[in-house]
Structure 1
Amino acid sequence: MTTALSLDLARSVLAAQPFSVLVGAELTAFGPEGATLEIPIRDELRQQFGYVHGGVLAYLADNTITYAGGATLGANVLTAGFSITYLRPAAGVRLRAVARVIDATRRQAVCECQVFAIPAEGAPVLCASAQGTVRAVEREL
């Protein structure tokens, strides 16, 4: 049985994830069309060249894909796997990941995600593209 998620419930799930709180993740959109997560860029998230660390981009893609899958499959989902391609370094003031379900069965959803760096001024810059599979699991939240 799936548990439908509202934006408020989805945000409470995010707030219950210690790592998501650590990086400052915010769920800014959630519904049948997909999910959007954002992270304010701060110095602790950068690597030695001043760009956002690739692990932060991977976390953001992974979690956004899972939320998009959850919008279709229900609350009890986990990422079964994903791949990410880094297109360019991420710099700016904020990261934004947008994911949507490409196709789904009753128990799994294949999703795509784009990760953007938001500059202080100007247009968002596409930094990474990811695809992943989300599976429904038998577990109470």
Structure 2
Amino acid sequence: MATEITPDLAEQVLAAQPFAQHVGTKITEFAEGTATLVIPIRPELGQQFGYVHGGVLSYAADNAITFAAGSLLGANVLTGGFTITYLRPARGTRLRAHATVTGSTRRQAVVGCQIYAESDDAEAVLCAVAQGNARAVERELG
């Protein structure tokens, strides 16, 4: 049976993820069919040219996709897979990954995600887009 996921439970699930804590991920939006995650950009998340490493962008897409799907499928979801396209290098003060469910059944959801690099003094830059799916699983949260 699926565990209904509320914004408070979504924050608890995120807080229980050591990697999310490592990169400083926060949920800033969680509603039916959508989720937004924000990650502060800092030097430790960079690659050799000073931009945010692609692995961090992939993590942001993966987690945003799963949280958006979980808003419809319940708390017991895992990513089934996703593809990501990097459009521009990411730099600024924070990443914002916004995911929206485009279609779902009782057990799976297809989700689109846009990842923006933001600064307080500049317009947000779309740096990556992703599409993926998540599936409900028969496992209780640990």
1:52 is displaced (CA, Å) by 0.3
1:68 is matched with which residue?
A: 68
Q: In the alignment, residue 32 of structure 1 is paired with which amino acid?
A: E
Please give the root-mean-square deviation of Cα atoms over the aligned residues, in Å: 0.7
Q: Which moved more, 1:116-125 or 1:87-96?
A: 116-125
Q: What do the CA deviations read for 1:80-108 (whole angstroms, capped 9, x no partner)?
A: 00000000000000000000100000100
2:128 is matched with which residue?
A: 128
Asked if 1:37 corresponds to 2:37, the answer is yes
Q: In the alignment, residue 8 of structure 1 is paired with which amino acid?
A: D
2:54 is matched with which residue?
A: 54
- State how far apart, in whole Å, the 2-side matches of 1:108 and 1:78 are: 10
Q: In the alignment, residue 73 of structure 1 is paired with which amino acid?
A: L
Q: In the alignment, residue 136 of structure 1 is paired with which amino acid?
A: A
TM-score after normalising by structure 1? 0.98
- State how far apart, in whole Å, the 2-side matches of 1:21 and 1:56 are: 13
CA contact (8 A) 2:37 2:64 kept: yes
1:78 is matched with which residue?
A: 78
Q: What do the CA deviations read for 1:50-83 (whole angstroms, capped 9, x no partner)?
A: 1000000000000000000000100000000000
- State how far apart, in whole Å, the 1-side matches of 2:55 and 2:2 are: 30
1:120 is displaced (CA, Å) by 3.1
Q: In the alignment, residue 31 of structure 2 is paired with which amino acid?
A: G
- State how far apart, in whole Å, the 2-side matches of 1:86 and 1:120 are: 22
- State how far apart, in whole Å, the 2-side matches of 1:22 and 1:119 are: 21
Q: What do the CA deviations read for 1:2-26 (whole angstroms, capped 9, x no partner)?
A: 1111111100100000001001000
1:116 is displaced (CA, Å) by 0.2
Q: In the alignment, residue 64 of structure 2 is paired with which amino acid?
A: T
SS in 1 for 2:123: coil
1:89 is matched with which residue?
A: 89
- State how far apart, in whole Å, the 2-side matches of 1:108 and 1:6 are: 18
Q: In the alignment, residue 27 of structure 1 is paired with which amino acid?
A: I
Gaps of 5+ in 2: none
TM-score after normalising by structure 2? 0.97
Gaps of 5+ in 1: none
Aligned residue pairs total 141
SS in 2 for 1:81: strand
CA contact (8 A) 2:33 2:69 kept: no
